[in-house]
Amino acid sequence: MKAEFVIVGAGSAGCAMAYRLAMAGRKVIVIEHGGTDAGPFIQMPAALSYPMNMKRYDWGYRSEPEPHLNNRELACPRGKVIGGSSSINGMVYVRGHAMDYDHWEESGAQGWAYADVLPYFKRMESWHDGGHGGDAGWRGTDGPLHVSRGPRKNPLFEAFVKAGAQAGYEATDDYNGEKQEGFGPMEQTVWNGRRWSAANAYLRPAQRTGNVELIRALAQRVVIEDGRAIGVEVLRGGKTEVIGAEREVVLAASSINSPKLLMLSGIGPAAHLAEHGIEVVADRAGVGQNLQDHLELYIQMAASQPITLYKHWNVLSKAVIGAQWLFTKTGMGASNQFESAAFVRSKAGVPYPDIQYHFLPIAVRYDGQAAAEGHGFQAHTGPMRSKSRGAVSLRSGNPADDPVIRFNYMSHPEDWEDFRTCIRLTREVFAQEAFKPFVKHEIQPGTDMQSDAELDSFIAEHAESAYHPCGTCKMGAVDDPMAVVDPQARVIGVEGLRVADSSIFPRITNGNLNAPSIMVGEKVSDLLLGLDPLARANDVPWVHPEWETSQR
């Protein structure tokens, strides 16, 4: 079994690379441990809370007890299925802010500034504004990845955007265009009523070329001879075999599994590898370090009118919605229900947004538990650039064992200040005139929670991961001791091996990570093919003219 390129992981970046390599006539083998993504749980956008809570589709990882969050073990879902996490995520599409990528370049990821990555975002998109306006010139029109907007029929979606304006914030009709900052419509990877995962967008067309073979197996380690990666050892049907790579091996197995595979292959912090009896091939201190994520809170309000999605929160209504979706791919089932959003700055002196809002017209948790009060709505909110850092390490030298995941959430004092700001700013938005007809009372935190200490206790008990882990194989300059890959995504110290997924992010980007992860696959595919990068863009993004002196 061999091919020119062997990609580990049929997720967001892996599918994009398989597609570009296949279109260029290259032979590719993609190794994926998970099974099929067929069936309504994955393909129906509104069913998103199901697959991420199903063992069948999820690796089922949990963090170690988090010392600053009352020792809670937080869920860390990663897709174990064709399409990877793009098959179990919330389908929210956010490119990230221009300054995120400029920061990448400043920190040593040469060639990854916003001007460099914007052309790849355009290349990957087929953007549909649905008649809601937007920045057409900043968007792509004929890429494999369809990006659309929900119908925004529920009056609460408009109330949220209006309330933002009443509170003095900017409006934006395209946070993925020139201006991220402000309140406006949210975008989703949904097309013709179906989840438009990386598998639907990239992998299926790639397979149709005949150049891509998908193999279901558990990757155990990269096989390295004389300092060069020559293949991947896998467990398939109870047997160990090696899948050979004539040109390169690419790990696109997630920010949890890519560093784990590197360490099992002898690439990582030498002392840690020695602890587990693994022979050191390349001593790279940064493997598994620099773990980042977004934490968020659900600020929930009880509704005074029965207009929320709660009216559909029963078996009969779910069956009707499911049937309509199955036969027509329309109706409530055809949206993830995240249809309004906002990006704002927490205080004066912050140059670009550091708080994100997802607005949802029901008070519910990701695990599908609805609020006891019945009709309600909520904003998911949290800081975008926490200074806390965690790590992924090996539990043992056995590839079957889950890695040790320590996020170290809220370990930086500024995180607490930022989160309290999030809660107070959200309450202010919900107190605006636009929400007067709809608000009954605050469900959580609850109006009795006001002081710093009270809010801190709420945060410690209720903060949840937004499921955006990244950064564990940081991209940087070759002489950066904590960098794992160079700006060509090549693992430093080993030939013929690259990493291309969210683990190479030097720092977490604003918003949800699916779009930047796919972009990484797009950009690295050009590097694998030895092509010149796409021409840099000259577009200048909007920055608040008074950011130094004003919060809004």
Alpha carbon of 58 to those of 110, 403, 511: distances in Å? 34, 15, 22
> Which pair of structure tokens corresponds to residue 346?
């927490």
Q: Taking Cα atoms as reference points, which of 148, 42, 31 lies closest to residue 85?
A: 42
> By the 8 A CB rule, do 104 and 508 touch?
no
Residue-level pLDDT at 366: 67
Q: Maximum Cα–Cα distance for the chain, whole Å?
A: 70
Q: What are the residue numbers of the active site?
A: 468
* Spatial separation of the C-alpha atoms in residues 516 and 201, rounded to whole Å: 15
| Amino acid code (one letter) for 208 | R
Q: Kindly report the CA angle at 95 between 90 and 98, in degrees rounded to 5?
A: 150
- CB contact at 8 A, 123 and 534: yes
* Nearest one of 158, 238, 196 to 438, comparing CA atoms: 158
- Which residue reads 């949840």 in tokens? 464
Q: Does domain 1-58+76-127+187-290+471-551 have CATH number 3.50.50.60?
A: yes
DSSP classification of residue 189: S
Q: Which residues of 376-388 are buried (b: 16+ CB within 10 A; e: fewer)?
A: bbbbbbbbbbbeb
SS3 35: strand
pLDDT, residue 53, reads 86
pLDDT for the residue 11: 98
d(CA 528, CA 342): 36
pLDDT of residue 526: 98
The pLDDT value given to residue 305: 95
Match 């920055």 to its residue by tokens: 543
Report strand pairing: 464-465 vs 295-303.
antiparallel
Q: pTM to 2 decimals?
A: 0.98
* Binding site listing for FAD: 81, 89-92
Q: What is the pLDDT of residue 133?
A: 83
Instruction: Report pLDDT for 365.
Output: 76
pLDDT at 364: 85
Predicted local confidence at residue 425, as pLDDT: 98
Backbone angles phi, psi at 249, to 5 degrees: -105, 135
DSSP letter for each residue of 288-323? T-SBB--EEEEEEEEESSS-SGGGG-SHHHHHHHHH
183 alpha carbon, distance to own chain's centre: 21
Query: Regarding beta strands 295-303 and 376-383, do their DSSP bridges make them parallel or antiparallel, or are they unpaired?
Result: antiparallel
Contacts of 420 (CB under 8 A, 6+ apart): 452, 455, 456, 459
Contacts of 262 (CB under 8 A, 6+ apart): 222, 251, 268, 284, 287, 288, 473, 484, 491, 499
The residue with tokens 């009270």 is: 454
With contact defined as beta carbons under 8 Å apart, do 514 and 147 qualify? no
pLDDT at residue 402, as a whole number: 98
For each successive 10 residues of the chain (552 residues), what is the average pLDDT?
A: 98 98 98 96 92 93 98 97 98 98 98 98 94 90 97 96 98 97 98 97 98 98 98 97 98 98 98 98 98 97 95 91 94 95 98 98 80 90 98 98 98 97 98 98 96 98 97 98 98 98 98 98 98 97 98 98
Phi, psi (deg, nearest 5) at residue 162: -65, -45
Return the SS3 of 38: coil
Q: Would you tell me the crossing angle of helices 413-430 and 452-462 to the nearest 10 degrees? A: 100
Domain ranges in the chain are: 1-58+76-127+187-290+471-551
